[in-house]
Structure 1
Amino acid sequence: MGDAMAVGWIVLIVVGAVIVLLPAVTVRVVPQASCQVVERFGRYTRTMNAGLNIVVPFIDRIRNRVDLREQFNIYPPESVITEDRVVIDVDMIVYYQVTDGRYATYEVDNYVQSIQLVAFNTLRNIVGGMDLQMLLASREEINAALRGVLDERTSMWGVRVNQVELKTIDLPEPLRRAEEEQMRANSEKRAAILRAEGERQAALVQAETERAVAAARGDQDGAGDRKPAYTPAARRPVHEPLHRDDPRRLGSYRLRARLGQGGMGTVYLGVTPGERLVAVKVIKKEFTEEPMFRKRFRREIDSVQRVGGFHTAPVVDADADGDPPWLATEYIPGPSLDDVLKQVGALPTRTLYTLALGVADALRGIHVCGIVHRDLKPSNIIVSGMGPRIIDFGLARALDGSKLTRSGHVVGTLGFLAPEQFTGAQITPATDMYAFGTVLCHAAGAAPLRDGESLESALELLPAGLVGVITRCRETDPALRPLPDEVLKELSPGPAPSEDWLPPHIRTMVDLHNRPTVSAP
């Protein structure tokens, strides 16, 4: 009897333990933004998505755990040989994302190493058809070509490549010294232009002062026949001093000057505690009174902080709950494209091609992150020494739906609005491509058009290689407009590279923005 009871207790304990442990060994919690590949008896059965899942012990086996978030790999330098037999070391960074855990598990042994192998094999083939000068001027074109090949290959592995960037190109020592000497020569040339510009401005001010003195003497001599006093025209500063009621500090940033003012707010030049320059945009008070604005603004800040690349101004800090709300981006020293076009007119062909490629590459990076700019125009493009940069991307959507924008009907700037922005149809990345085509028209001198003049009548003002792209971008039907990748492919390669993508007078404007700014009182 006692033995039977003991056996019964043992059975109860075992059964109880099994009941307690069964959920622990059968229930699997898959983290968010990940998946797990399950095999049964060595064969694929299913892919478990995020959440609670059941795995049968001793029968099912988790073959692979896959992170579905965007990843990046910085690959060590590899040696490549140019067409003119120069050996250089190039390293790159690849941003990728697994889209199908099953294919990523079974179609390739190691997709990270496979991406590296394909990337550098492709790079060797591309560089092998270029001389050194072409290579140094074609970094963005090479990035686009690399991504196109990787997109095609990795799609079969359940992987999507979001971005490819060549990080450094190490030249042999003799070539590096020659490059440094050329850079010094270019710097001295630009310094000479700046000195000549300063002397010219000083001469103008001196001449105006002398005329003013002469006018004043004439007034004194001519009894009763006084002329209005002449005021010399002061040279317009690059950065406007702070106004009396402007804030002097926001967050940890000291504000030093005004960079500009638009429909959404005022942009200030700020300085971090480490003396780095940032552009701080402060939102107008009337927007903050809209109940849903801060929520939209916070959401858009989270979105745009994911955007990277060489052709945008990254968001480095923000405060959607501040009074007033603000956000800070990297300061890009240079004038806006709008200022450039107002001062120098239509851009030369080489500059126009570089502008088109840079803006198209930036739009590609913005659209990959699920963001539509909605207000692309010359004043939202900075012309810098390192190429064109897009600013204010994604912020127009924070305004969309507010009482203020509803009273204005549309979000955006007249002259650059796509047809769907007027009709209330769905806003898509194709909306930005319409504005992109219009921006190129302005930069080439084919817009704005006079009354009764059509775009077709102004196409002869455009370089022949841009006519097709611009015409497609300005299609009424969004589905007929090209993607940024298609624009990059069609425009690469453009004209033969020259010493500098900016002509001297525009380079001077850029250099003036690099001058130190005097702090406001």
Structure 2
Amino acid sequence: MEPILIVVGVLLIPVVIVLASAIKVVPQTSVMIVERFGRYTRTLNAGLHIVVPLVSRVRNRIDLREQVVPFPPQPVITRDNLVVNVDTVIYYQVTDPRSATYEVSSYIQAIEQLTVTTLRNIIGQMDLDTTLASREVVNGTLLGVLHEATGRWGIRLNRVELKAIEPPTSIQDSMEKQMRADRDRRAAILTAEGQRQAQILKAEGEKQAALLKAESDREVAAIRTGGRAGAAPPVPAQAAPASVHQPLRQGDPRRIGRYQLTARLGEGGMGTVYLGRSPGQRLVAVKVVRPEFATDPAFRHRFAREIDAARRVGGFHTAPVVDADSQDTPPWLATEYIPGPSLHDVLRRQGALPVRTVHVLALGVAEALERIHACGIIHRDLKPSNIIISAAGPRVIDFGIARSLDGTVLTGTNLVVGTQGFLAPEQLTGGPITHASDLYAFGLVLCHAAGALPLTDGESLESALGLLPSHFAGIIRRCLDHAPERRPTPTEILEELSRHGASSEGWLPPSVRTMVDLHNAPTAATP
């Protein structure tokens, strides 16, 4: 008898489990969507219901009460290229559970995405002042757009609240803050310089007084002993104003060719660039090859090709060659000194640039590429650190790995040349390198300058480009096409940008102009 009871008990356990799983309790103010074999069958209202296992299943549980969804602050770019944070709270209620389940995969994500897109479209047409003063307008427009869309999803939008619209300090200060900071920096520089000059004059006066006293003491001693006083030691020269240039280091040459070197401008993998003066006191940038490369005949040949490429391109939006000697020890190249920081330094310190600045930058670099390509040369290493920002406009420099379209390859087989992050796909895969490779790098340079790169977490390049003016985004998309033949030429870019017009007068923001001015500061002479 006992074995029979055990068997019956074992058989009853799964039956009880199945019956328990079939019972569904729907709370008040909620519903459940039931599917049979993957298709909608019915909607369960509040109460007790039976759902046959393995045949039917609950697809969705929906709360019919009003829901409050606070979205995280969204960074949105205004028409004048400033960023504001918009803090939004949405109040909604599901009115049609079936539509809310099947019309959209996730109505909460859909509402969030539509909110972000609508805010970008609205605020993108306003400047900063208008945006900060138009919360009611933005709120009303957003509510209208969301109400129309959510109605199709079985959602009733009760209200939308914009908790805050304010410029974030973590992404980019408003123009007013930038101008105030720029004025403060200039005032601090002038104050510090004035204090330093006062200290120098005070120290100089004390030195002069000490020298006069020492001279007087020597004269008295000479009279007493019948001898002559020695000459007073020379007065030290007044220190020169501070500059952004690095001082020469021990072991650096003090003269190359006929040029006296006064400071360091930068250092790369193949050489060091110095600030120098010609016999006529004109400033030049002197690139000196490292000793380990200077002994390599193949490298000397390549360096001679660099000199030839720079001379052929000329000085329009580049740095013209003043003098060079590829056979000297070490080899060197002197170009006109362009006072200004690199675009890399500007972006590192200032962040994304205003639209007007990016427009003039794009025109200048495209014009330089047009001239470079007209000479039959491919730059092959266009990047922010090879673009100098001067008061007169951008200059493209460093033809160190440039190649002429004459079939002569200056690098080893299968060797990728250029800078990671700015290489065209064909440069990475070993395909033919053409002028179009420079245009791919040009598109990436504009992405960095306009703030589309680097990307934030979860952001795609396409969504970042959507925040830029349409003509910029269109040009960048064409430049970043993986098919080289579909990329635009520099001439086509110039024609496209010229239709939108931009004056180069005052093209630099005040903070960047200050960086340029500092590169014009005098550099102390090196002993």
Task: Identify the TM-score tier after normalising by the shorter chain.
Answer: 0.5 to 0.7
Q: Could you tell me how far 1:460 is from its partner in structure 2?
A: 2.5
Task: Quickly say closer, same or farther: Cα 1:193–1:299, change in 2 above 3 A.
Answer: same
Match of 1:435 in 2: 441
Match of 2:476 in 1: 470
The separation in 2 between residues aligned to 1:197 and 1:494, in whole angstroms, is 38
- Match status 1:371 vs 2:377: yes
Of 376, 381, 401, 2:387 maps to 381
The separation in 1 between residues aligned to 2:242 and 2:302, in whole angstroms, is 37
Matched residue SS, 2:341: coil
Equivalent positions of 1:230-379 (< 5 A) are 237-379=243-385
The separation in 2 between residues aligned to 1:456 and 1:236, in whole angstroms, is 44
Contact preservation (8 Å) 2:373, 2:435: yes
For residues 428-460 of structure 1, what are the alpha-carbon distances to aligned partners after superposition, in whole Å with 9 as ceiling and x for unaligned?
111111100000000001112346643212113
Q: Could you tell me how far 1:495 is from its partner in structure 2?
A: 4.7
CA RMSD of aligned residues (A): 3.0
Contact preservation (8 Å) 2:393, 2:504: no
Of 464, 467, 472, 1:458 maps to 464
The separation in 2 between residues aligned to 1:360 and 1:197, in whole angstroms, is 37
Task: Quickly say closer, same or farther: Cα 1:319–1:512, change in 2 above 3 A.
Answer: same
Match of 2:427 in 1: 421
Contact preservation (8 Å) 1:383, 1:389: yes
Of 180, 189, 198, 1:198 maps to 189
Q: Could you tell me how far 1:267 is from its partner in structure 2?
A: 0.6
Return structure 1 stretches of 4+ with deviation > 6 angstroms.
Answer: 191-194, 202-205
Q: Could you tell me how far 1:193 is from its partner in structure 2?
A: 7.6
Q: Could you tell me how far 1:202 is from its partner in structure 2?
A: 6.9
Q: Could you tell me how far 1:393 is from its partner in structure 2?
A: 2.7
Paired amino acid for 2:512: I
The separation in 2 between residues aligned to 1:201 and 1:429, in whole angstroms, is 48
Equivalent positions of 1:9-408 (< 5 A) are 195-199=186-190, 237-393=243-399, 395-397=401-403, 401=410
Matched residue SS, 1:352: helix
The separation in 2 between residues aligned to 1:430 and 1:356, in whole angstroms, is 16
Match of 2:416 in 1: 410
Contact preservation (8 Å) 2:243, 2:518: no
Task: Quickly say closer, same or farther: Cα 1:474–1:236, change in 2 above 3 A.
Answer: farther
The unaligned stretches of length 5 or more in structure 2 are 1-181, 197-240
For residues 298-357 of structure 1, what are the alpha-carbon distances to aligned partners after superposition, in whole Å with 9 as ceiling and x for unaligned?
133223212124311111111111111111111000011111111111010111100000
Contact preservation (8 Å) 1:444, 1:461: no
Matched residue SS, 2:312: coil
The separation in 2 between residues aligned to 1:322 and 1:386, in whole angstroms, is 33
The separation in 2 between residues aligned to 1:454 and 1:336, in whole angstroms, is 27
Task: Quickly say closer, same or farther: Cα 1:362–1:197, change in 2 above 3 A.
Answer: farther
The separation in 2 between residues aligned to 1:422 and 1:362, in whole angstroms, is 24
Contact preservation (8 Å) 2:358, 2:450: yes
The unaligned stretches of length 5 or more in structure 1 are 1-190, 206-234
State TM-score, norm by structure 1: 0.54
Contact preservation (8 Å) 2:317, 2:396: yes
Asked which structure has the greater CA Rg, the reply is 2
Contact preservation (8 Å) 1:318, 1:328: yes
Task: Quickly say closer, same or farther: Cα 1:280–1:491, change in 2 above 3 A.
Answer: same
Task: Quickly say closer, same or farther: Cα 1:452–1:284, change in 2 above 3 A.
Answer: farther
Paired amino acid for 1:352: V
Matched residue SS, 1:270: strand
Contact preservation (8 Å) 1:311, 1:358: yes
For residues 350-407 of structure 1, what are the alpha-carbon distances to aligned partners after superposition, in whole Å with 9 as ceiling and x for unaligned?
111000000000000011111111111101100001000011135444997557xx79
